[in-house]
């Protein structure tokens, strides 16, 4: 049941974007690419290429042909809900998972900063904060 609740949360956050996102070939079409990148830009500090990669990643996980198969497998093969909750709340490192998703989706923060020619201002200093890594690298 938690699997479907998690999917519902993702749908609430994303809306219909993953289901209606343009095909990757449209982003290389000479007449379409500039307009597509323009209209998918929501945050000026996130490169549109990275945004497109993110939406493709979400689409692969939730609206692709195999995502339904994975949903059924997750529902029937997840173990007891109590043990799942214990595992998530005691062992889950959200920052490490963010980095993992970025890597899988092909998002590079350093490249993002270079593409945007990121310049730190007083307002970005207030919003930005560094979080120490809590997962030891073995």
**pLDDT band at residue 129 under the 50/70/90 scheme:** very low
Residue 135 lies in a domain: no
Per-residue pLDDT at 21 exceeds 90: yes
Judge whether 134 lies within some domain.
no
Q: Is residue 74 situated within a structural domain?
A: yes
Does residue 61 register a pLDDT over 70? yes
pTM exceeds cut of 0.75: no
Averaged pLDDT for residues 7-30: 91
Q: Which two tokens stand for residue 128?
A: 């930005």
pLDDT given for residue 118 in this prediction: 53
Buried b / exposed e along 38-75 (16+ C-beta atoms within 10 A): eebeeeeebbbbbbbbbbbbbbebbbeeeeeeeeeeee
- Asked, for residue 98, whether it belongs to a domain, the answer is yes
Is residue 132 in a domain?
Answer: no
pLDDT higher than 70, residue 137? no
Residue 98: pLDDT over 60: yes
Total tally of structural domains belonging to the chain: 1
CA distance 81 to 86: 9
Judge whether 136 lies within some domain: no
Structure tokens given for 50: 């990275």
84 is in which domain, residue-wise?
2-127
Is 105 domain-assigned?
A: yes
In a domain, 123, yes or no: yes
Q: Is the dihedral of CA 74, 78, 80, 83 positive or negative?
A: negative
> What pLDDT was estimated at residue 68?
74
Identify which of 52, 63, 72 has the alpha carbon closest to the alpha carbon of residue 15: 63
* DSSP notation for 126-137: HH-------SPP
């Amino acid at each position: 049941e938690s699997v479907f609740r998690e999917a519902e949360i993702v749908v609430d956050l994303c809306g219909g974007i993953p289901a209606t996102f343009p095909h990757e070939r449209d982003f290389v079409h000479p007449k379409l690419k500039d307009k597509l990148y323009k209209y998918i830009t929501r945050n000026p500090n996130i490169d549109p290429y990275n945004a497109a990669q993110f939406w493709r990643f979400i689409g692969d996980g939730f609206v692709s042909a195999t995502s339904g198969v994975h949903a059924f497998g997750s529902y029937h093969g997840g173990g007891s809900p109590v043990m799942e909750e214990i595992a998530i709340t005691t062992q889950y490192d959200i920052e490490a998972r963010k980095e993992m998703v970025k890597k899988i989706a092909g998002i590079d923060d350093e490249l993002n900063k270079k593409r945007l020619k990121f310049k730190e201002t007083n307002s970005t200093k207030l919003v930005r904060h560094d979080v120490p890594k809590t997962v030891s690298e073995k």
